[in-house]
Amino acid sequence: MHTEHFDVLVVGAGLSGIDAGYHLQTRCPNKRYAILEGRDAIGGTWDLFRYPGIRSDSDMFTLGYPFRPWRDAKSIADGPSILRYVRDTAREFGIDRHIRFRQTVRSAAWSTRDAHWTLEVDAANTSEPVRYTCDFLYLCSGYYSYARGHAPAFPGSEGFAGPIVHPQEWPEDLDYRDQRVVVIGSGATAVTLVPAMADRARHVTMLQRSPTYIVSLPSEDGLANAVRRLLPDRLAHRIVRWKNVLLSLMFFQFCRRWPERAKRLIRRGVAMQLPEDCAVDTHFRPTYDPWDQRLCIVPEGDLFKALRDGRASIVTDRIDRFTTGGIRLQSGRELAADIIVTATGLKLVACGGIHLDVDGRTVDPGESFSYKGVMLSGVPNMAVCVGYTNASWTLRADLTSRYVCRLLNYMDRKGYDQCVARLRDPDMESQPLLNLTSGYVRRSVDEFPKQGSRAPWKQHQNYLLDLLSLKLGAVDDRALEFSRRPDDSAESLKRTA
């Protein structure tokens, strides 16, 4: 089997992978890298999801890259615009030339003797696995399963006369014009789908088991657009980015420190936009505190407009069973439906679902600790990109890629071949890595690395603290163990691959 060697291999060509490629080629120009992408296109999440209204709930000044200003008028952008931005970025900086498509990484094995990873990859153009080796492995595959979403079994679903659709597997030919649609769910996908489908459907009902906090924001940032008219693109982008970072941090801290005040503020904003006969506390009063789960953003209050216009409605109840013509609820009420959309959440998968092995020992990510939210304890020369749960994914992804480049350059300067994070405190208290109580997190929490109670094992959900730690903090600390390879076999491999 032919083996090709790279200094760095990146897994995933979505937002994070393109960011990683940019920093590798600008900060580590001597490194030969490639990006392995399991699908046949750039974009990751933004290429995968095709349901109506798909958009971001983060502003594009923080979801976008700091090195390529977002120039569109809308700061809360739709999915196709985001996908175009990611692809244009890859093309503009030549990152697309480093991507190898339809390359699904199945396993990665680390050898201390050789100081490299060996990856077994399923490639679309061959019936046999392809093998790569690399000195450093960087996983930018996110934590959503691309194979399928979370689809609970509903009693009677096999007898429903119409189509049952999960947003992750949206059929291109689904015609919902003049159809009665029931969307099951209350999260970001549901609040996006309902107003988008209401424009063409006869009626759309959002059926939720329990409410979610929903906040309306303008789709355009008036201050940002004014600043961009006065200042050069890059400077304006930097100013607006910092403005949005600080505002989101302030709002998050307000919600966590004074949850009752935050509840009243959010409720007041929702009530102002609803029809007078809408039971606000029934449909929009969650049982948890703000930011125990992610807040949902509705640009221009589009969900509330659909409710006011009568094109959509909201029902809070539990499902008893599906029927031929719709859904019977536990209250006894029946919802008529021609189409049912199960916006019931996503499946999470740690480390891209890749089987990891270190010197013949299988790595269970759930048994490891996360060092600075970047490396796994006991796993050499590997980083994992995990974004924020309370802010834009790209904010932390960009810091992580910068840190990986700092680490690689430090190792080169010192002549090190291996770096591994070691947790030497047996009494370190463990906490879930993802600090949300959402169902999709709880279902998979044991499969993900843990975080500790103290730095550098605690993952901050705070951009300012991460900026100090990842960008300005010392690379060499007591938790990292650096070493040189025991022989020259890795160098020999590079010469012969």
Within this chain, domains 3-147+347-496 and 157-220+274-342 share the same CATH topology: yes
The whole-number pLDDT of residue 125 equals 76
Residue 1 pLDDT class (50, 70, 90 cuts): low
Q: Per CATH, which fold does 3-147+347-496 belong to?
A: FAD/NAD(P)-binding domain (3.50.50)
Q: What is the mean pLDDT of the chain?
A: 92
- pLDDT tens digits along 20-65: 999 999 999 999 999 999 999 999 999 999 999 999 989 999 999 9
Q: 73 Cβ partners below 8 Å, 6+ apart?
A: 220, 225
- pLDDT tens digits along 278-313: 899 999 999 999 998 889 999 999 999 999 999 999
The whole-number pLDDT of residue 346 equals 87
Tell me which CATH homologous superfamily contains domain 157-220+274-342. Answer: FAD/NAD(P)-binding domain (3.50.50.60)
Helices and strands counted in the chain (H then E) = 14, 25
What is the bridge-based pairing of β-strands 326-329 and 382-384? unpaired
Q: 64 Cβ partners below 8 Å, 6+ apart?
A: 70, 85, 237, 394
287: tokens are: 């049982």
- pLDDT tens digits along 250-261: 999 999 999 999
List the beta bridge partners of residue 376.
370
pLDDT of residue 437 exceeding 80, the answer is no
The whole-number pLDDT of residue 414 equals 95
Q: Quick one: CA dihedral 80, 84, 90, 94, positive or negative?
A: positive
Q: What proportion of the chain, given as a percentage, has pLDDT over 90?
A: 80
Mean pLDDT to the nearest integer, 421-441: 84
Domain boundaries, the chain: 3-147+347-496, 157-220+274-342
pLDDT of residue 491 exceeding 70, the answer is no
What is the bridge-based pairing of β-strands 430-432 and 382-384? unpaired
Residue 427 pLDDT class (50, 70, 90 cuts): confident
Does residue 20 contact residue 48 with C-beta atoms inside 8 Å? no
- Type of residue found at 155: P
SS3 breakdown of the chain: % helix, strand, coil, rounded to 5?
Answer: 35, 25, 40
pLDDT of residue 496 exceeding 60, the answer is no
Residue 488 pLDDT class (50, 70, 90 cuts): low
